[in-house]
């Protein structure tokens, strides 16, 4: 039961941080509409949509770097013996690196989806 609770807390914390980032983007768009030109509801919604698309663009380096994780360290026959001795460390380092990239990708995707949801909400309610 404790493990389930820990996972539930981690998921809720992840969603909360993503929502806070999306609301921060909403605040930036709101300030840009108040300070700059006055926005209609359609323009306001479109700005929020494109800011959310920028969140998706943040994930692209993580996606592209994750494509190269299949490459092994045994490409050079001269160092294959030394690499075999530290293979566990190499695998753990690769796993940690891939985990960080995956978290970035999922975070940016969730912020983008929430931002697009806010954009749709602006369009429907406006």
* DSSP code per residue over 52-114: HHHHHHHHHHHHHHHTTTT--STT-TTTHHHHHHTHHHHHHHHHHHHHHHHHHHHHHHHHHHH
List of the chain residues with pLDDT < 70 = 68-77, 79-80, 83-84
Phi, psi at 20, each rounded to 5°: -65, -40
What was the pLDDT predicted at 100? 81
pTM for this prediction:
0.77
CA distance 18 to 99: 17
What was the pLDDT predicted at 94? 74
What was the pLDDT predicted at 101? 83
For residue 95, give its domain range: 2-125
Phi, psi at 37, each rounded to 5°: -70, 145
Q: How many structural domains compose the chain?
A: 1
């Amino acid at each position: 039961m404790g493990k389930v609770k820990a996972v539930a807390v981690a998921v809720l914390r992840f969603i909360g941080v993503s929502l806070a980032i999306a609301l921060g983007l909403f605040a930036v768009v709101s300030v840009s509409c108040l300070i700059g030109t006055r926005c209609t509801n359609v323009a306001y919604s479109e700005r929020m949509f494109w800011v959310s698309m920028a969140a998706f663009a943040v994930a692209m380096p993580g996606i592209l770097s994750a494509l190269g994780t299949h490459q092994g360290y045994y490409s050079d026959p001269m160092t294959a013996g030394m690499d075999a001795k530290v293979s566990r460390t190499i695998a753990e380092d690769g796993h940690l690196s891939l985990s960080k990239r995956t978290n970035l990708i999922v975070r940016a995707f969730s912020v983008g989806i929430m931002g697009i949801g806010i954009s749709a909400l602006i369009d429907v309610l406006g």
